[in-house]
A = this chain, B = another copy of it.
Amino acid sequence: MSRAAIRIRDDFWSAYQELVTGTVIPYQWEALNDRIEGAEPSHAIRNFRIAAGLEEGEFGGFVFQDSDLYKWLEAAAYALRLKPDPELERIADDVIGLIGKAQQADGYLNTYFTIREPDKRWTNLYEAHELYCAGHLFEAAVAYFETTGKRRLLDIACRFADLIDRTFGPGEGQLRAYCGHPEIELALVKLYGATGEERYLKLSKFFVDERGKQPNYFIAEWKRGRTPIWNPGMPDLEVYQAHLPVREQTAAVGHAVRAVYLYSAMADLARLTGDVRLREACERLWFNTTKKQMYITGGIGSTHLGEAFTFDYDLPNDLAYAETCASIGIIFWARRMLRLEARSEYADVMERALYNNVLGSMARDGKHFFYVNPLEVWPEASMRNPDRRHVKPVRQKWFGCSCCPPNVARLLCSLDDYIYDIDEAAGKVYVHLYIGSEAGFEMAGRAVTLRQRSGLPWDGTVKFELSVPGEAGGARFALALRVPNWFQTAEPRLAVNGAACPYRVENGYAVVEREWSDGDRVEWLLPMETVLIGARPEIRANAGKAAIQRGPLVYCVEEADNGAPLAALSLADDPALSAAFVPDLLGGCVVVEGSGEVPADMDWPEDAPYRPLRNASRPKRLKAIPYYLWGNREPGEMSVWLRC
């Protein structure tokens, strides 16, 4: 598939991209430099200065702290792709210079080991995140090179990748090992893409293939007596997806971010190497993850203990982890599954995670973030019940382990990569996401420009306009528009140049093949129904409950609109939900209102915790806002699922 030149111009998303470039990236640069008052220090820049010999001191922060800077750099590269910014580019070039100074003579680059344990390189692959950090370096390097054409960071990355390639492998004297935290695997695929160096692809495949083989490397490493960073005990192989060779894995287990980063690389490799068993494993794991272990918001990871998957249908709303990075990781994975095969279910998940879990992780000011994205919050319980301490009712300024904020930044700045797939060979242009944008590509030998305008997430009208300039007439190809999975009764309508147009649905895409001429217009009308969604009975946490969804957005009720306790509020038998855009609420959003109920008697005598049931209720209007906007007012209760 050829690469398209895509620029986002969208009422909804452009504002987010401007927030990221204008606020998030500068803010995070301050954070990386430990200049945010009242926030936990990052130590990231300082670690590089120490490793580079420019400053004296001790390593600070987590063992994987370098990756925060790399992710920030990657985000900065995408920001520069969106809009030139000489000051940002100068900062980036400077910090790339710093990274270069911290690189060791043989190409090794990791501030933790360079500062603290220079003799312990590669001795704790289970915990030490060395290859993980390398992976983020590679991703940043590829992004910066592709945007600016500057090779400095790419050269640094390749020198380190070459050292890793010499160190790891099946050969004599090489380590038959892999990283406790997958990441380098998908990054090596990118490095291969940018450089054309086959050995980076081969090394990625080696890491993926080696994972979970017997005898298990992590067990062997542990028996040798690694210096523990956190856990001196026997490795928990499931947590690190190293319990089975990847082609034998059938269910998502363990640390959720690790899992989806691994599965992303597996999908890349399945595509690039045509490995059918690997592809089947991806499809099995996708099915399990998205059909059995995913929250309606696109969040994954049901427990904060190990930030992990638990098991099928165990999706507690109040204890949810649903880490921001895990949801971003499922978007990475979905994007790669789409490249394997254009099936709308992959894009559906991408859209769900993006509009709900990921978008909800960032405050409207771009300066506060959720690491954990619960579906039900009782602020007092977060403060006073230690089981719920991980569930924050308010977004935080920064985190000691601040993997999530820069991940949000790099995703939102590179969103243009997620909208289209152009399959020139098959003569197909896939539209996965309805985000206003302009895509320029070659099709049937012609330069085509596709302009998309989208009313999402508020309005379902999507319009396309095609430019096929030149004298040679039209270009024949198929436009494949994803049919979203979020309406209930109506079907989307398609019109070409004002005339209703039939379409066939293939793998969830409405396909219209024709000779497209310059100036052709396509209208794609997506029904915007406000729908009540139920969960299957096995998801115990949602029994007797429903969630409100409108278009791609999952809704929630907040204490600010509905009072407390929210649990007392339920949907009326006929909730008669209505939706209306409210311009002055939270920057403007569609609010859903409807008929709810609360117990007739909410004021019990103080001495009565329990008493004979009186089932009487009284009507109460309920008001729901998009989930992604929760927690932007006074802290209070929030719930996605409502009793019905």
Contact = CB atoms under 8 A, between A and B. Distances in A.
Contact of A305 (B302, B313, B387, B565): B387
A592 B378 CA distance: 34
A540 B378 contact: yes
Contacts of A611: 533-534, 536
A612 interface: yes
Contacts of A615: 534, 573, 644
A613 B644 contact: yes
Contact of A537 (B311, B533, B538, B602): B602
A295 B539 CA distance: 25
Contacts of A533: 610-613
A614 interface: yes
A610 B303 CA distance: 20
A607 interface: yes
Range for the number of chain A residues in contact with chain B: 35 or more
B537 A643 contact: no
Contact of A570 (B305, B316, B544, B568): B544
B568 A537 contact: yes
Given A319-B387, A544-B643, A531 B612 contact: yes
A63 interface: no
A612 B314 contact: no
Interface in A252-297: 287, 290-292, 294, 296
A395 to B, nearest CB: 23
Contact of A608 (B296, B314, B536, B609): B536
Interface in A373-427: 378, 380-381, 384-387
A614 B534 contact: yes
A384 B310 contact: yes
Nearest to A381: B314
B544 A565 contact: no
A535 interface: yes
A303 B385 contact: yes
A532 interface: yes
A543 interface: yes
A287 B607 contact: yes
Interface in A533-556: 533-541, 543-544, 546-547
Contact of A609 (B305, B536, B598, B614): B536
Interface string A604-634: 1011111111110000000000000000000
17 contacts: A292-B609, A296-B609, A303-B387, A310-B384, A314-B385, A378-B540, A533-B610, A534-B610, A534-B615, A536-B609, A537-B599, A537-B602, A540-B566, A543-B565, A544-B567, A544-B643, A573-B615
